[in-house]
Structure 1
């Protein structure tokens, strides 16, 4: 199981952004979560999913603005599930708590932690690779994001050029500068690594 805990950066000096993040993540990921997106302690947001691709997508979406420290915890979640993430327990929640604390001091404001395991794959194998992707995306400009979002939604490059009133060559140049293709190639590999880590760390106890 995967638990994501996001803590707002500098919340005492900034407006409270938790409500907006809860609404945004609920709209995009609701059908792929085990429990509704939850606002926990103060300015924290918590999510629970059993899908590695969803966990990675949430991490990447939430770290994009630089306004959140994001911890990804991998482990078990006790069954039966309660009606809210803040009421749930398990090693994935403990790992997520440790991860978000570490994320506050980490480059990219991301950290990964997992329940203790004996395996050929470890957090040290996966965390740096996810962080590299987070840092790559941090360098992407607004024009780069504009093109990436259109293409990721299925828009052809010629159609994107027409929509943005730029040349097809400009679209291609923006995608290259945004390093869109390396990100798309890295995502499936990261999902496989997270899935393997989860298979070793998750041994869900049942009542």
Structure 2
């Protein structure tokens, strides 16, 4: 299981962005969320999914604007699930708590933790790659995001040029500078590593319960 915990940066000095992030997370993961994202304590948001692809999508969405410290926890969750994510518990939630605390001091404000000691070292390796992807996205300019978002929505480059009132060559240049193809290549690779880490956590739990 994957638990995402996000804590708003500088919430005492700015407006509460919790409801806005919840909406974005719902759009990013859709029906792969096991429970609706929830505001748990103050300005903190939690979400849970059993999909590595969705966990990565949630993490990237929450880290996109740099306004949130984001922790991704991987591990077991106590079943059956309650009716709200704030009532759920288990090693994945503890791992996400440790991760968000670490994220507050980390580059990119992102951290990953495993709920099992046996997979902690592997989690550090995946975290390093995940942080690189987040930092790549943080270097993207607003004009870069404009063309990337439109391209991901399926708009042809000529149409993007018309919508933004720029030349097709400018669209191509912005996409290249945004490194969007590098991101698209990295996303499935990192999602696969997250899935492997989750599977290893399940195996660790099963081995522990059988002894």
Structure 1 length-normalised TM: 0.94
The answer for the alignment partner of 1:58 in structure 2 is 58
The answer for the alignment partner of 2:127 in structure 1 is 127
The answer for the alignment partner of 1:16 in structure 2 is 16
**Matched residues, number:** 205
Distance 1:102 1:119, change over 3 A: closer
Tell me, in whole angstroms, the C-alpha distance in 1 between the residues paired with 2:26 and 2:109.
22
Q: Superposition pairs for residues 141-180 of structure 1, below 5 Å? A: 141-180=141-180
- Name the stretch that deviates more: 112-121 or 98-107: 112-121
Which 4+ stretches in 1 moved above 3 angstroms?
117-121
Tell me, in whole angstroms, the C-alpha distance in 2 between the residues paired with 1:28 and 1:133.
17
Q: What's the offset of the Cα at 1:29? A: 2.7
Tell me, in whole angstroms, the C-alpha distance in 2 between the residues paired with 1:131 and 1:161.
31
Tell me, in whole angstroms, the C-alpha distance in 1 between the residues paired with 2:182 and 2:151.
14
RMSD: 1.7
- Listed one character per residue, the Cα deviations across residues 127-171 of structure 1 (whole Å, up to 9, x for unaligned) are 011000111111101110000001111111122122222111111
Distance 1:57 1:27, change over 3 A: closer
Q: Superposition pairs for residues 1-207 of structure 1, below 5 Å? A: 1-118=1-118, 122-202=122-202, 203=205
Unaligned ranges ≥5, structure 2 = 207-211
Structure 2 length-normalised TM: 0.92
* 8 Å CA contact retained: 2:70, 2:111: yes
- Listed one character per residue, the Cα deviations across residues 62-116 of structure 1 (whole Å, up to 9, x for unaligned) are 1111110000000011111100011111110010000000000000000000022
Tell me, in whole angstroms, the C-alpha distance in 1 between the residues paired with 2:108 and 2:48.
22
Q: What's the offset of the Cα at 1:30? A: 3.5
Tell me, in whole angstroms, the C-alpha distance in 2 between the residues paired with 1:199 and 1:133.
22
| Structure with larger RCO (C-alpha < 8 A, sep 6+) | 1
Secondary structure (helix, strand or coil) at the match of 1:122 reads helix
Tell me, in whole angstroms, the C-alpha distance in 2 between the residues paired with 1:42 and 1:117.
30
Tell me, in whole angstroms, the C-alpha distance in 2 between the residues paired with 1:13 and 1:2.
30
Tell me, in whole angstroms, the C-alpha distance in 2 between the residues paired with 1:70 and 1:120.
18
* 8 Å CA contact retained: 1:117, 1:201: no
* 8 Å CA contact retained: 2:4, 2:72: yes
Secondary structure (helix, strand or coil) at the match of 1:81 reads coil
* 8 Å CA contact retained: 1:121, 1:197: no
- Listed one character per residue, the Cα deviations across residues 38-69 of structure 1 (whole Å, up to 9, x for unaligned) are 11011100000001111111111111111100
